[in-house]
Structure 1
Amino acid sequence: MTDAATGTRTVVVEREFPFPPDRLWRALTQPHLIEAWLMKNDFRPEVGHRFNLRGDWGGVLDCEVLALEPNRTLAYSWNHAHDDPAYALNSVVTFTLTPTETGTHLRMEQAGFRADQRQAFGGAGAGWRQFFENLEQTLAQADR
């Protein structure tokens, strides 16, 4: 998806999870669960809280909680500084949870990829699909 006004692109990944919204919400907002499916972090569910996500590859993402509506919406900046502008990323990740008859529909949008960031854009699409696989496994193993 491309934003006509800015020319930036957005990765969208959607998936149905067989768990209620409150259970999915915990996995999106509790640091030990975020670490299990995404990355090490110092997240707190507070608008304005600045935190880091630390990848196994040694990279650090600088983030800030932008929006928070429990069991419905979570948005945060997802910024990666890099010497090469093609790899520097200033984006926003938004999770939207919608209850369904069988669980929760989760939609993730990562907006802000510039046209010259084809590799990062493609990698994000594949990466989020893998993160969602990890999330489902984490949810299946987490205390109910």
Structure 2
Amino acid sequence: MTSSPTIAIDQFFPYPPAHVWRALTDPGLLARWLMPNDFQLKVGHRFTFKGTPMPQVNFSGIVQCEVLNFEIERTLSYSWMDHSGENDLRSTVTWRLEPEGQGTHLFLEHSGFDPAHPLHQLSYRIMSGGWGRLVRQLAETLAADDNVPTSTDNK
């Protein structure tokens, strides 16, 4: 039996968990590094991310999500599916934050890709690179936010 492929990224940030958490949950900051959205930190809240359509993989550009669970400054999980319905990928994005020294180790897991479904596999390959780029944009957003102290500010 083939296991379901999962996108997994981990990245250290020299910022306290509260600041990384803010970048994951504040709609304005999310829009800077991910996509424009109507996110609210509330279990059961349905929200959308609005990005660039990719017709070659049946991606409408609109991602429908629902907050599944969260623990403030520790974990956030939401469903992820294309608005059009033409792409039947129903997946889950989970963020986990672990304090490390005066910074934060962030773990991203995007799961739910069917290994037997060609479109899911194509989506997996595209999103694997995409999430890496987006996590770099998250780092740039944190670095540019004047309200985010770095771990070196405390020395």
How far is 1:80 from its partner?
A: 1.2
Among 62, 65, 69, which residue is 1:63 paired with?
A: 65
1:119 matched residue in structure 2? 122
* Structure of greater Rg: 2
Paired residue secondary structure (2:6): strand
Instruction: Tell me which stretches of 4 or more aligned residues in structure 1 moved more than 6 Å.
Output: none
> Equivalences for 1:98-109 in 2 at 5 Å?
98-109=98-109
Q: Any gaps of 5 or more consecutive residues in structure 2?
A: 54-59, 148-155
1:15 matched residue in structure 2? 11
State the distance in 1 between where 2:83 and 2:47 align.
Answer: 14
How far is 1:142 from its partner?
A: 1.3
In proportion to residue count, which structure has more strand? 1
How far is 1:9 from its partner?
A: 1.9
> Equivalences for 1:35-54 in 2 at 5 Å?
35-54=31-50
Q: TM-score, normalised by structure 2?
A: 0.83
2:78 matched residue in structure 1? 76
| 1:54-93 deviation per Cα after TM superposition (whole angstroms, max 9, x unaligned) | 1033610110000111100000001114565xx4310000
How far is 1:8 from its partner?
A: 2.5
State the distance in 2 between where 1:46 and 1:15 align.
Answer: 25
| 1:110-135 deviation per Cα after TM superposition (whole angstroms, max 9, x unaligned) | 01011122211111110110000100
Q: TM-score, normalised by structure 1?
A: 0.89
Percent of pairs with identical residues: 41
Letter in 2 for 1:12: A
State the distance in 2 between where 1:39 and 1:31 align.
Answer: 9
1:95 matched residue in structure 2? 95
Q: Any gaps of 5 or more consecutive residues in structure 1?
A: none
The 1:93/1:83 distance shift into structure 2, 3 A limit, reads closer
How far is 1:50 from its partner?
A: 0.3
In proportion to residue count, which structure has more helix? 2
Paired residue secondary structure (1:27): helix
